[in-house]
Amino acid sequence: MRLGMVIDLRRCIGCYGCQLSCKAEHGTPPGVFFARVLKSEEGRYPTVRHLFLPVLCNHCDDAPCVEVCPTEASHYAEHGIVDIDQDKCVGCRACMMACPYGNRYFNGERRDYYPGAGPTVYETARTLRHPEGVVMKCNFCRDRLAEGKLPACVANCASTARYFGDLDDPNSQVSTLIKERGGFTLHPEAGTGPNVYYLPP
């Protein structure tokens, strides 16, 4: 089984629901976005359209971040998920330089969401559990998957633009969508074998 995600750019409305639900699920510190939405404009006035590109870790088959990690902190977990063992990470940030998708973050030092007011109850419960001095990234919500749930960004997508499933199964919804709608990956020239696909707008 090789888990992967398909994002339908025609359905995405740029609501940031994925970004917010990811923040809520993982309690990531300020400045850390496992899932985020890039926006750009295309065309010239008056024929202009807004494009939204939701991005996250691509959980590559041949992940350069795993290759360059000196401590094996970045590793392949079950079903092709690329994850970080935060007890092994030394914070060298080589993986951040190796990732062609820029979806890794260094949690350098503690910063509260309300500077000067101390951590909120939520932050104490969620954000403060993330160790400092290490790199963080999306792990396809492994904890949720273990409970039989979908990743938070998929479950909370208001326009159901995200699909999640087994890319090795030719009959799965994700494989069918990629085949029928011409799914593509970001930066295929990097040769990393991403497992996040996009359907054209």
User: Is residue 134 at the binding interface for another protein, with CB under 8 A as the rule?
Assistant: yes
* Residue 190 per-residue DSSP state: G
Nearer to another protein, 56 or 167 (CB): 56
Rounded to an integer, what distance in angstroms lies between the CA atom of residue 112 and that of residue 119? 6
Minimum CB–partner distance for residue 96 and another protein (Å): 6
Contacts with 170 (C-beta within 8 Å, 6 or more apart), sequence order? none
Does 77 engage in binding with another protein (CB under 8 A)? no
**Would you count residue 109 as binding another protein (CB under 8 A)?**
yes
- Does 169 help bind another protein (rule: CB under 8 A)? no
The dihedral through the CA atoms of 122, 113, 149, 95 has a sign that is negative
100 binds another protein (CB under 8 A): yes
90 binds another protein (CB under 8 A): yes
Other C-beta atoms lying within 10 Å of the C-beta of residue 170: 9
Pick the binder of another protein from 38, 124, 149, 182 (CB under 8 A).
38
Structure tokens at 174: 């994700």
